């Protein structure tokens, strides 16, 4: 497909080509109207001339009859000269009428009228004619006047034929223009659709390229077909994609190297702290044990910060890696079991109410989501408090609520806390400070599974926060969840 150098020129070319069929139809309409007007003018002139000439011919025939009758009565030779003058006009009118496009019968009638007048004139011009000849002349010219009246009908017939021809021409022109207008509209519509597709194609390609780069997908090359200026823009986007991919690769390498370089000394420090805590190198005093505990907690905190940072970086442009059926109640029980020591350290208990629901997704990443929710609740729960964990199936979704009795989340922070490195104004219980990435990772994993996670206000009016996770149920698991809930209720009774 040929594209002009400029996108604007391409649009103007498309507009011109779409307009050409319509302009042609309009020009054809103008020409048809012009031809019709010309034909109408000619037909009207001919009809008017025929009516005028036939009327003159009738008047001249009547004059000839009157002159003949006067000559018969008065026998005045001067009347013969008058007759010759009128006769000359009569023959000129007859010749003019015969030159018009009359019917063959009307043309023959005009010729017979001229021949009849010629025969009568020979008799009239004879000075030795008798009474019988005069009587024959009077009767002959009376018949000549009657015959001249037929020319009036011929003129009317010519007018009627002109009107019929104009009607036929107008009908043909209207039908021809209607067919031409339909064809021109169809061609213009097809051209408009073709050019709309050709114009929209490079725009769609640019939009797709921007969306892919916006979602951190740098694996697909940017290809833009179209005018040169749009192709140049596509080339610049391709350069930007390559540059962003290089920067992302550099960032990945940097994070891997940094994590390795940081984890190695941290592991050594943590192992040393563990050995000191176990008093391998000798008995420690109370103050020394406190120092060892602080070192150990901070090494654990730093290790978790590094792991969260790497994990969050891996969630960009992420799709669930290993899809399969996941029994969400088993995941929740496992997470609660893994966090029991952390909960016991703060004398925090769990109140579980779990329905057997099943979803489809990546079990390990779903476990990470639930773990972030539970560990976040433990961090912010006051000592000797309870964390309520509720799991149920509602409206084709698995709904998991984790509620604590901590300081809660302010209304203006319920969306911000899911941002990267945002930790909120509420102070957590304990010395180990979080990284601000746990909830951000949870949201990324949740969106990748087609679900949503949000912070809500407790409906019972007590202090604390409620984090709700909603994930699509696996096919057919809604009925299974309802049956499991009924079975649990029956066992409880």
Angle formed by the axes of helices 131-214 and 78-98, to 10°?
Answer: 30
| Whole-number Å distance between alpha carbons of 180 and 29 | 9
Please report the pLDDT score of residue 485 as a whole number.
Answer: 47
Q: Domains in the chain, start-ordered, CATH in brackets? A: 7-194 (1.20.1440.210), 238-311 (no CATH), 319-492 (3.30.565.10)
pLDDT in tens, 328-369: 999 999 999 988 888 888 889 999 999 999 998 888 889 989
Q: Give one DSSP letter per residue of 169-224, joined into a string.
A: HHHHHHHHHHHHHHHHHHHHHHHHHHHHHHHHHHHHHHHHHHHHHHTT--SSPP--
Other Cβ atoms less than 10 A from the Cβ of 238: the count is 15
φ/ψ of 35, rounded to 5, equals: -60, -40
Task: Tell me the helix, strand and coil percentages in the chain, rounded to 5.
Answer: 70, 10, 20
Element housing 353 (H / E): strand 349-354
| Whole-number Å distance between alpha carbons of 456 and 10 | 54
Please report the pLDDT score of residue 426 as a whole number.
Answer: 57
| Whole-number Å distance between alpha carbons of 148 and 302 | 128
Please give the mean pLDDT across all residues of the chain. 78
201, pLDDT greater than 70: yes
Q: Give, in order, the Cα–Cα distances in Å from 12 to each of 16, 158, 174, 192, 195.
A: 6, 53, 32, 12, 11
Greater confidence, 152 or 61?
Answer: 61
Please report the pLDDT score of residue 492 as a whole number.
Answer: 38
Query: What's the DSSP call for residue 350?
Result: E
Let me know: does 372 contact 440? Beta carbons within 8 Å.
Answer: no
Please report the pLDDT score of residue 351 as a whole number.
Answer: 92
Structure tokens at 81: 């000269």
124, pLDDT greater than 60: yes
183, pLDDT greater than 70: yes
407, pLDDT greater than 60: yes
Q: Give one DSSP letter per residue of 275-294, joined into a string.
A: HHHTTTTS---HHHHHHHHH
Highest mean pLDDT among 1-15, 191-205, 366-380, 428-442: 366-380
7, pLDDT greater than 70: no
Q: How deeply is 123 buried, as exposed, middle or buried, from its count of CB atoms within 10 A (0-12, 13-18, 19+)?
A: middle
Strands 452-456 and 466-472: antiparallel
Let me know: does 71 contact 79? Beta carbons within 8 Å.
Answer: yes
Rg (C-alpha) for the chain, rounded Å, is 54
Band (pLDDT 50/70/90 cuts) for residue 489 is very low
Other Cβ atoms less than 10 A from the Cβ of 369: the count is 27
Band (pLDDT 50/70/90 cuts) for residue 317 is very low
Band (pLDDT 50/70/90 cuts) for residue 470 is very high
């Amino acid at each position: 497909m040929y594209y002009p150098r400029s996108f604007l020129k391409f649009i103007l070319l498309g507009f011109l080509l779409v307009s050409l069929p319509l302009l042609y139809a309009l020009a054809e309409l103008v020409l048809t109207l012009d031809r019709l007007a010309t034909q109408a003018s000619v037909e009207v002139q001919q009809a008017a001339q025929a009516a005028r000439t036939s009327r003159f011919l009738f008047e001249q025939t009547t004059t000839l009859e009157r002159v003949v009758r006067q000559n018969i009565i008065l026998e005045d030779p001067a009347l013969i000269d008058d007759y010759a003058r009128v006769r000359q006009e009569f023959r000129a009118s007859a010749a003019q009428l015969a030159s018009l496009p009359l019917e063959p019968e009307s043309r023959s009638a005009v010729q017979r009228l001229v021949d009849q007048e010629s025969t009568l004139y020979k008799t009239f011009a004879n000075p030795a004619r008798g009474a019988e000849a005069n009587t024959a002349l009077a009767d002959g010219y009376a018949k000549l006047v009657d015959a001249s009246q037929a020319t009036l009908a011929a003129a009317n017939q010519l007018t009627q034929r002109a009107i019929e021809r104009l009607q036929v021409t107008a009908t043909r022109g209207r039908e021809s223009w209607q067919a031409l207008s339909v064809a021109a509209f169809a061609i213009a519509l097809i051209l408009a659709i073709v050019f709309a597709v050709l114009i929209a194609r490079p725009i769609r390609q640019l939009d797709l390229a921007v969306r892919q780069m916006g979602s951190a997908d740098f694996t697909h090359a940017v290809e833009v077909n179209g005018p040169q200026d749009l192709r140049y823009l596509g080339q610049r986007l391709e350069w930007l994609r390559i540059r962003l991919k290089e920067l992302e690769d550099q960032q990945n390498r940097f994070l891997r190297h940094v994590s390795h370089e940081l984890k190695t000394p941290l592991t050594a420090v943590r192992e040393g702290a563990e050995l000191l805590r176990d008093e391998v190198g000798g008995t420690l005093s109370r103050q020394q044990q406190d120092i060892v505990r602080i070192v150990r907690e901070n090494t654990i905190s730093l290790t978790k910060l590094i792991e969260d940072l790497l994990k969050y970086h891996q969630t960009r442009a992420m799709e669930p890696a290993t899809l399969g059926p996941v029994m969400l109640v088993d995941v929740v029980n496992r997470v609660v079991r893994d966090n029991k020591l952390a909960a016991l350290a703060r004398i925090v208990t769990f109140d579980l109410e779990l329905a057997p629901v099943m979803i489809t997704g990546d079990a390990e990443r779903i476990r990470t989501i639930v773990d972030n929710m539970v560990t976040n609740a433990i961090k912010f729960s006051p000592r000797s408090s309870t964390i309520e964990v509720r799991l149920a199936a509602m409206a084709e979704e698995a709904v998991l609520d984790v509620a604590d009795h901590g300081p809660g989340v302010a209304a203006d922070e319920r969306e911000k806390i899911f941002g990267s490195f945002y930790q909120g104004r509420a102070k957590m219980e304990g010395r180990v400070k979080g990284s601000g990435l746990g909830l951000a990772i949870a949201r990324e994993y949740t969106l990748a599974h087609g679900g949503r996670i949000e912070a809500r206000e407790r409906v019972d009016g007590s202090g604390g926060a409620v984090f709700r996770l909603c994930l699509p149920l696996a096919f057919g698991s809604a009925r299974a969840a309802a049956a499991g809930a009924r079975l649990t209720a029956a066992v409880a009774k």
